[in-house]
Amino acid sequence: MNTNYWSVDKFVDNLENYPQIQQAADFLAKNEVVAFPTETVYGLGGNAKEDLAVEKIFAAKGRPSDNPLIIHIAEQSQLTDFVTEISAKSQLLMDRFWPGPLTIIFPLKKGFISKKATAGLETVGVRMPDHPVALAVLKASGLPIAAPSANRSGKPSPTTALHVKEDLDGRIAGIVDGGPTGVGVESTVIDCTTEIPVILRPGGVTKEQLEAVVGEVHVDPALSDEKEAPKAPGMKYRHYAPDAPLYLVDGTREEIQKRINEQRGEGKKVGVLTTKENETFYDADFIFACGERGRLETVAHSIYEALRSFNKQNIDLIYSEMFPNEGVGNAIMNRLMKAAGQRVIKG
């Protein structure tokens, strides 16, 4: 398959000046799949109403079909087509965080969205992205668009069009290049079908921000339980993994350096994932500083770039520092734990 490539100014002012947007939308209307930027990561979009388009998303990614997809919309009014109820708390969250990096789980109205997109569940996850290019594509298509991250399943999510091309060139109809994404980690997923909303995936909106709007919010204890059918993407299967095995080290810099020395003594090439505060401390074969520990939002922005960067260095294994499990740190640690396959070394 020939993959079309369209470069678009991030700040789309009107569709007349960007025929590329309409070209991408036309492909979506023909049940082809197209990658486009959002404020979190690049998404791989397809017509959420049609089984054929959804099947092409799963095929391009190599993604298990029991992993539901998030539906992206450009207008809140689209919800009435496929959602049976919008609770008061859902509305408060939409008013505060849409457009933005928040996916809300609603009860599903059957018959409009492809069952393959929802993995046969009775609920559906929906969000409105806060990115001019994404919104322009969605509006031009006039469709609800199912869009997981635009990468091969299990690999680090893409934050640039080049990342998408590396993973999916020749496998999808097109890539809309709107520049690097902003937040860097996927949206927070919150289930509002329960009396007390439940976070199913930490992301760009923190638990503290959610509670400031709707009061008490729970965090699903089954986030890492692979026995349950996932209600949201990211709850099942290994994700975000670099090619080399990744280990999180719950210990000091000195303890990490000791392990680096031991592995290098055995002839292995070792990488370290750290922050700007600590990058000059380590002696390793490749060091990536993904932002500042004192500003965790910068770490979130660079985490996938960091994981991808190790693939180009022929590294044998990677050690990563741990991060505070609070605020956006929850999302960072969630992604790192999945990328490491839950491998944590104590001290």
Q: pLDDT value at position 235? A: 47
What's the rounded Cα separation, in Å, for the pair 229 and 227? 7
Q: pLDDT value at position 232? A: 56
Helix ranges (H only) for 227-328 are 253-265, 296-311
Do residues 124 and 108 touch, judged by C-beta distance below 8 A? yes
Say whether pTM exceeds 0.85.
Answer: yes
Domains annotated for the chain, with CATH where assigned, are 4-219 (3.90.870.10), 246-346 (3.40.50.11030)
Q: pLDDT value at position 343? A: 94
pLDDT exceeds cutoff 90 at 276 = yes
- Sorted by sequence, the CB contacts under 8 Å of residue 274 that are 6+ apart come out as 281, 282, 287, 288, 289, 290, 320, 321
Average confidence score pLDDT of the chain:
93
- CA atoms 26, 186, 103, 225: torsion sign: positive
**Helical pair 19-29 and 132-141, crossing angle rounded to 10 deg:** 50
Give the residue among 135, 323, 344 at the shortest CA–CA distance from 245. Answer: 344
pLDDT exceeds cutoff 70 at 338 = yes
What's the rounded Cα separation, in Å, for the pair 244 and 311? 7
Give me 218's structure tokens: 């729970």
Residue 120: pLDDT band (50, 70, 90) is very high
The side-by-side arrangement of strands in the sheet containing 270-274 is: 286-289, 270-274, 317-321, 246-250, 344-346
**Average pLDDT of span 133-157:** 95
Do residues 129 and 72 touch, judged by C-beta distance below 8 A? yes
Do residues 154 and 61 touch, judged by C-beta distance below 8 A? no
Q: pLDDT value at position 32? A: 98
Residue 15: pLDDT band (50, 70, 90) is low
The b/e string for 89-113 (b: 16+ C-beta within 10 A; e otherwise) is bbeebbeebbbbbbbbbbebeeeeb
Residue 228: pLDDT band (50, 70, 90) is very low
- CA atoms 245, 250, 254, 259: torsion sign: negative
What's the rounded Cα separation, in Å, for the pair 73 and 142? 9
For strands 145-146 and 42-47, give the pairing. antiparallel
Inter-CA distances, 209 with 108, 202, 280, 292, Å: 26, 12, 34, 21
What's the rounded Cα separation, in Å, for the pair 26 and 20? 10
